[in-house]
């Protein structure tokens, strides 16, 4: 190799040298040691070079050339046959090759890291916490096997007010949580198949969670994950409420609603979303439900944060404006959930409502006209709430806005209460979960009612979707079944 090789990058030079060793006659081109070159300086971690001093060269009768600064160099000295055995040179070249390979590999890995983080996600060590990089399930209707697939179903199970973490520092608190796991296990097993779980608020009694509110959400995520079904969470008035110490002192929760969303989203089965920052509350979002082939969106689920805890109990004007915007973009059937009832949920008439009615009704301080906004679209089947542990009924929505409020029909929106599902929180009514089943038959279709520029490319008809609802108790019994 001549002096021009010094301009070749170090790693390439190592490769060139190795190739030279392999492809040339070893007698003609024995491994050499360099003198007067800078190469030896940057080989940290490799076999050190053997440097020949000028006295070595003089001993061998090699004439020296004086350079600027008094240094000596002889052309012959640049290629001096090694007096050592050839294994030494080979070892050096292998070492150079390894260093070069390591450097190239590092550059490739760095490039992949910067250009495509999904590569690492695929390998299983991506940032699972990041909503953008977790593969989450798509919601879709399911073919009902007993009808040969002619009927399609989508079953929602509302788990509400389980109040984990209550009295976490006393014996009965954790025991109560174990009873909750047992109740949910019984209900989930007997009610299968379920397509979506709604965690309807008050998953925690934050008043007693001194510091680990997020840990309870992670525990809940692990528990639900074992059933293999996706869930969507909304917050209640106890999830991030202030902590109440045994001595009566109070202080704000050490975690926020957003912290709970992050903990919830750690499971790939969580469909919970952090709502827009520009509106009040956190758990404000909409989920699409597809047909059984997973292509077209044929229903939607609206989730709202009715406040409480660290924020006021209300549906604010900013939320209503956001809801109006969301629901105007589609004409498919929809359902909605929030934790605290609206004024409309106070209505109860024995002849027109079905279900448990054994409690008072506390409503949000202000609801912005949410029921009017939803019912005016003719898309919503119901708004389901929790909060009142002794209420479990569904009623047709009564409003003076309706032309004839006494007329109840299939399309009339309903107000529904879930069923107290856990052992935390007040009351001893038998635990259960309200189930909402959306369904349609392939051969029953109707014309689309809300044509718009956006729907012009869609089919002119769609399936006639219906719904029914019941409560599944921990004992396995079905009660409070809706008769629509
Ligand atoms: Zn509650």
Q: What is the pLDDT of residues 3-50, one digit of tens each?
A: 333 343 434 443 333 333 333 343 334 333 333 333 333 333 333 333
360: CA distance to ligand 1 center in Å?
13
Whole-number pLDDT of residue 411: 62
What percent of the chain has pLDDT above 70?
A: 70
432: CA distance to ligand 1 center in Å?
14
Q: What is the mean pLDDT of the chain?
A: 79
237: CA distance to ligand 1 center in Å?
8
Q: Which CATH number is correct for 131-479, 3.40.1280.10, 3.40.430.10, 3.30.930.10, 3.60.21.10?
A: 3.60.21.10
Q: Examine the pLDDT at 347 and tell me if it is beyond 80.
A: yes
344: CA distance to ligand 1 center in Å?
19
Q: What is the pLDDT of residues 116-169, one digit of tens each?
A: 444 443 343 333 444 457 899 999 999 999 999 999 999 999 999 999 999 998
239: CA distance to ligand 1 center in Å?
9
Q: What is the pLDDT of residues 355-381, one digit of tens each?
A: 999 999 999 999 999 999 999 999 999
* Residue-range domain boundaries for the chain: 3-115, 131-479
Q: Model-level pTM?
A: 0.72
Of residues 330, 323, 289, the one with CA closest to residue 305: 323
Lowest mean pLDDT among 51-55, 289-293, 416-420: 51-55
CB count in 10 Å sphere of residue 1: 16
424: CA distance to ligand 1 center in Å?
8
Higher pLDDT, 415 or 405: 415
Beta strand 151-159 with 285-290 is unpaired
pLDDT interval class at 302 (50, 70, 90): very high
Q: How far is CA 224 from CA 159, 195, 232, 478, in A?
A: 11, 13, 11, 22
Lowest mean pLDDT among 57-66, 102-111, 137-146, 229-238: 57-66
139: CA distance to ligand 1 center in Å?
27
Token pair in block for residue 211: 């510091």
pLDDT interval class at 215 (50, 70, 90): very high
Q: Taking residues 184-209, what's their average pLDDT?
A: 96
Cα–Cα distance between 200 and 231 in angstroms, integer? 10
418: CA distance to ligand 1 center in Å?
11
Whole-number pLDDT of residue 45: 33
57: CA distance to ligand 1 center in Å?
92
The most confident of 42-51, 110-119, 267-276, by mean pLDDT: 267-276
Q: What is the pLDDT of residues 62-99, one digit of tens each?
A: 444 344 444 433 333 333 444 455 556 666 776 677 76
Q: What is the pLDDT of residues 417-436, one digit of tens each?
A: 999 999 999 999 999 999 99
CA R_g for the chain: 36
Q: What is the pLDDT of residues 154-164, one digit of tens each?
A: 999 999 999 99
6: CA distance to ligand 1 center in Å?
76
Whole-number pLDDT of residue 469: 97
87-124 in b/e form (b: 16+ CB < 10 A) is: eebeebbebbbebbeeeeeeeeeeeeeeeeeeeebeee
Whole-number pLDDT of residue 211: 82
Of residues 300, 309, 302, the one with CA closest to residue 281: 309
Whole-number pLDDT of residue 73: 38
Whole-number pLDDT of residue 400: 57
Across the strands, what pairs with 299?
289
Whole-number pLDDT of residue 480: 94
Cα–Cα distance between 194 and 106 in angstroms, integer? 47
Whole-number pLDDT of residue 477: 98
Contact between 264 and 233 under an 8 Å Cβ cutoff? The reply is: yes
């Amino acid at each position: 190799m001549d002096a021009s090789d010094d301009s070749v990058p170090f790693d390439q030079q190592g490769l060139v040298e190795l190739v030279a060793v392999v492809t040339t006659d070893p007698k003609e081109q024995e491994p050499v040691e360099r003198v007067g070159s800078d190469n030896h300086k940057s080989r940290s971690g490799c076999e050190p070079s053997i440097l020949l001093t000028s006295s070595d060269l003089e001993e061998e009768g090699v004439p020296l050339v004086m350079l600027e600064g008094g240094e000596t160099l002889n052309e012959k000295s640049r290629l001096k046959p090694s007096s050592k055995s050839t294994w030494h040179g080979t070892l050096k070249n292998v070492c150079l090759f390894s260093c070069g390979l390591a450097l190239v590999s590092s550059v490739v890995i760095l490039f992949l890291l910067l250009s495509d983080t999904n590569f690492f996600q695929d390998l299983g060590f991506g940032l699972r916490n990041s909503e953008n990089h977790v593969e989450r399930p798509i919601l879709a209707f399911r073919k009902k096997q007993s009808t040969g697939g002619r009927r399609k179903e989508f079953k929602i199970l509302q788990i509400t007010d389980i109040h984990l973490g209550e009295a976490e520092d006393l014996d009965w608190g954790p025991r109560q949580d174990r009873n909750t796991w047992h109740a949910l296990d019984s209900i989930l097993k007997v009610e299968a198949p379920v397509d979506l779980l709604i965690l309807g608020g008050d998953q925690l009694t934050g008043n007693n969670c001194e510091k680990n509110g997020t840990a309870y959400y992670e525990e809940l995520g692990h528990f639900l994950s074992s059933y293999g079904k996706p869930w969507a969470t909304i917050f209640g008035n106890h999830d991030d409420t202030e902590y109440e110490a045994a001595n009566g002192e109070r202080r704000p929760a050490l975690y926020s609603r957003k912290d709970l969303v992050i903990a919830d989203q750690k499971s790939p089965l969580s469909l919970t979303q952090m709502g827009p920052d520009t509106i009040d509350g956190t758990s404000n979002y909409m989920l699409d439900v597809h047909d059984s082939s997973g292509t077209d969106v044929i229903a939607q689920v609206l989730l709202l944060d009715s406040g409480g805890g660290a924020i006021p109990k209300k549906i604010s004007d900013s939320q209503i404006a956001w809801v109006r915007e969301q629901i105007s973009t589609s004409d498919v059937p929809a359902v909605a959930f929030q934790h605290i009832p609206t004024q409309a949920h106070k209505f109860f008439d024995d002849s027109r409502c079905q279900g448990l009615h054994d409690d008072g009704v506390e409503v949000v301080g202000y609801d912005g006209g949410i029921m009017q906004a939803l019912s005016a679209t003719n898309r919503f089947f119901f708004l389901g709430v929790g909060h009142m542990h002794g209420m479990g009924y569904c009623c047709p929505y009564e409003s003076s806005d309706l032309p004839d409020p006494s007329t109840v029909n299939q399309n009339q929106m309903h107000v529904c209460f879930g069923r107290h599902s856990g052992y935390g929180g007040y009351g001893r009514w038998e635990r259960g979960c309200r189930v909402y089943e959306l369904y349609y038959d392939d051969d029953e279709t109707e014309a689309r009612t809300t044509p718009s520029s956006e729907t012009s490319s869609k089919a002119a008809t769609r399936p006639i979707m219906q719904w029914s609802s019941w409560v599944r108790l921990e004992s396995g019994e079905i009660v409070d079944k809706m008769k629509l």
